[in-house]
Structure 1
Amino acid sequence: MNTPLNNLIRNDIDMFWSNRLGLVHSAADVRSFVCEYLPLLGIDYDMSIAEAILQLQRIDVVEAQPLVSEITALAKLIYDEQDTSVRLKLWQQLAKKVGYDKEINKIDINLTSRSNIVKYIKVLLSDDYMKMCPAHDIAYKIVNLMAHYDITEDDRPLYETWDLATEIEAMSLAEIEKSGKLDEMIGLSKGLD
């Protein structure tokens, strides 16, 4: 839907990726970019990680284009593949391509228990992760947790974190910053156990 708010949010997300990719100037930077996301396999949705890596299609660094083409082709295969075992092999291939030296043996995540939900939220709201993913996408992921786990109002800190995410995902970045809701959500997440 093309509403003014949706356009603002889309522009905010585009600006995030433009700034993030503005740091990529060489093939080595491309490898580093991909290697930042690979440790999230088994912690975050692998399709989400593939989407982040696919952002490399936006860069225009002549020296890096052959590598970018190979990486994004693999990321596209991963994104389109339904079979988890095939995706795992593709992730291993991609990791080898960028010189990632840690073993990748798990890409699925389990968000059916409260403790796993809390760990996931803490990862999403960590300083490192927030540099790697737009705030709107993080809020969306937290809102989406309700599809896997019934977050009830009785569980106040978890419910309040989820509730703030529902507000944040429908705000422009300027509104998010002005409201302080993201900082409030981060603060709440630190108290989750």
Structure 2
Amino acid sequence: MAKLLQLRGGTTSQHSSFTGAVREVTVDTDKDVLVVHDGSTAGGFPAHRDLKGSDIASADPLVITAGSNYYIVTGTTGFNDMTVAANHHFFLEFAGALVMTHVGGALDLPSGAAITTAAGDVGEFFATAANVVTCVSYTKASGKPVKTDFANADISASAAIDQSKLAGLDATPDTDHTANGPQTSTLLAGY
């Protein structure tokens, strides 16, 4: 005969005010996710579950709905902020080109620079507070970096080439500046 394990459960709203026993596991019946309790935190700790949300039409602000953590952004309207609940960890996949603009304290992007998206790019975001979002990683479908500092890259490459050319030279100062041997100069008064 098969064994059955059935856990207590309730809606998301019911869980928000429920403080379970230490190591108690319940089921959030709205989200179909397990919730682990510690005996003191109301609402417990929902287990991570990857859920694809509805596609999001690009807009400013970009509205991120609760209950999912993976969304596809459609459209070409750029944005510089998001409407999202605090502590929401989510991923955005972009269906096309748009510009996300860095605004410190609202939408923090890598390197503090705007990002032009392309089809297949994926960003990982975390809302540190309501409507305050940090992009914690961004992967371009092309495999290219989000931002390249070409000026510094060229300087570094040139310095490495110059150092490699100098590596085999004798570092002893050259005092023989003419074919006739060392020269000395005398300062003339009045000049």
TM-score (norm 1): 0.21
TM-score (norm 2): 0.22
Kindly name which structure, 1 or 2, has the bigger radius of gyration based on alpha carbons.
2
More strand per residue: 2
Structure with higher RCO (Cα < 8 A, 6+ apart): 1
More helix per residue: 1
